[in-house]
Amino acid sequence: MQNDTRIEQGGAIFLILLGLVILEIIWNWRKDKKAYDIRDTLANLAIFLGFQLSKVLFFGFQYAIMGYLSQFTLFHFKSTPLVFLISFVAVDFVYYWYHRLSHKIKLLWAFHLVHHSSLFMNLTVSYRLNWLSALLTPFVVAPLILIGLPFEFIAASFGLNLLYQFFLHTEAVGKLGFIEGLLATPSAHRVHHGSNEQYIDKNFGGVFMMWDRWFGTYQPETIKPTYGVTTGFISNNPFVLVFKGFVDYFKGKMDYKG
């Protein structure tokens, strides 16, 4: 019964997100914003489907690693609303550093490259995620498991963090006043995806911008971003996009950023 409820909730969320994509496509067409390209969008959809499949394939691996780590927890926090709030903030803090390191460590950039490879900014780009990234997730959240935060709270917070980021990948929303610099916004995330020199390696927060402000990586949007990596167009082939970072890593050719 619980699994059926989760499937229904997942289906409802998917339909809502699909509806928003359709609305953005209509906005793009009516305003002639050129935020979509059919080949790029088809590549995004193919990568999204592959990513969903990868979550199923790697679930056992993730569960085994996190189950093993849970044996060494330092504390055992109760499942209360306050602990959930702490878990949510802690997940975003860990995500900030993982995201930042993904732009600095070449092996992690090999995983992350696909997300920055699009020359466009629209909602479908949000799930342009590496099919092998599920291999990293248990190690990203390992500190939180070892501290003793409830695993279900960590998983839920990570899922909500990624869901929130879906709404950041758009040009349909301008700056949001006083919220800028406090929360991650579409404007702040457009900066993150910009390959302009002043935008590279900025705005890593998933939900909160306080980490970027505290650690010196915050940058407001001042000029229109040029999207993609610094070397420009890569491909519309989803397999090339997903694995190019690894190929370049082993060839020692990762001299570009996004």
Q: What averages of pLDDT result for each successive group of 10 residues across the chain (258 residues)?
A: 62 90 96 96 97 95 92 93 98 98 96 98 97 95 96 95 97 97 98 97 98 98 97 96 96 82
d(CA 35, CA 232): 16
218 in Cβ contact with 203 (< 8 Å): yes
Q: What is the DSSP letter of 98?
A: H
Q: How far apart are CA 211 and CA 169, in angstroms?
A: 20
Query: Which pLDDT score, from 0 to 100, does residue 257 have?
Result: 80
For residue 48, the enclosing domain spans 33-251
- Is 10 part of any domain? no
Whole-number Å distance between alpha carbons of 171 and 148 = 39
The per-residue pLDDT for 5 is 63
Q: What is the pLDDT of residue 12?
A: 85
> What count of other Cβ atoms lies within 10 Å of the Cβ of residue 198?
11
Domain count, the chain: 1
How high is the pLDDT of residue 256? 79
pLDDT for the residue numbered 4: 59
Is 26 within the bounds of a domain? no
Q: What is the reported pLDDT for 243?
A: 97
Query: Is residue 9 included in any domain, yes or no?
Result: no
Residue 188 lies in a domain: yes
In a domain, 176, yes or no: yes
Cα Rg, the chain, nearest whole Å: 18
Give the pLDDT of residue 14.
86
Residue 125, in any domain of the structure? yes
The residue type at 110: A
27 lies in some domain? no
Q: Which of 188, 168, 191 is nearest to 122 (CA)?
A: 168
Question: Any residues with CB less than 8 A from the CB of 11 and at least 6 apart, and which?
Answer: none
Number of neighbouring beta carbons within 10 Å of residue 99: 21
In a domain, 184, yes or no: yes
